[in-house]
Amino acid sequence: MDVSIEPSWKAYLQPEFEKPYFQQLTDFVRQEYQNNTCYPKGKDIFAAFDHCPFQETKVVIIGQDPYHGPNQANGLCFSVKDGIPHPPSLVNIFKEIKVDVQKPYPKSGNLERWADQGVLLLNATLTVRAHNAGSHQKKGWEQFTDAVIKTVSSQLDGVVFLLWGGFAKKKAALIDKSRHHILTSGHPSPLSANRGLWFGNQHFSKANQLLARMGKEPIDW
């Protein structure tokens, strides 16, 4: 089937689009968007890929679900649109960046600026029904995004994976550790961060050190 996604990704992911589960997933998502308010907007479902072409992927951050409040989700994990108040996890991400790499706390929570530098901001589930967290889980998205992670692992070299929290850490099983770098910590949500599992992980400076060591351009976080 024809999926509107950035061409370099399409070349690698086309086999997934032809599988029965993806057709069923597409039917489910189409019905959900017709009958309910869902996020992100249809044109933004694959935004993480559109902003970060395949061969330019240097860092992968894995989230779980899009935000389910009005005007928040923009297709990139942890990211919100310009002008939208920052959700608690994003607040803690920016606080850690401020201490770790001495960057001032930003006005905008829109992380397209990261994605445009080669950071794949991948939610495991790419859509959600409004005000109903997890409502599109176990419908096929996880199979698709696991295939994305496996493809990055097998076709690229020297990617830095940032796995935050128990859910993301499980994805380490899909990654070839002999070819890539994996950094893990607690989740930036207040529940985890306030128990000392997030702050001080220095993932942003560590990721840049790894990139520099491989001769890649560091990320301007």
* Catalytic residue (choose from 44, 50, 65, 100): 65
- Sheet arrangement for strand 181-185: 119-123, 59-63, 160-164, 181-185
* Of 117, 48, 41, residue with least CA distance to 78: 48
65 is catalytic: yes
Alpha helices in 156-195 (DSSP H): 165-169, 190-193
Neighbours of 217 (CB within 10 A): 11
CA dihedral 20, 23, 25, 31 (to 10 degrees): -140
Instruction: Cite the active site residues.
Output: 65
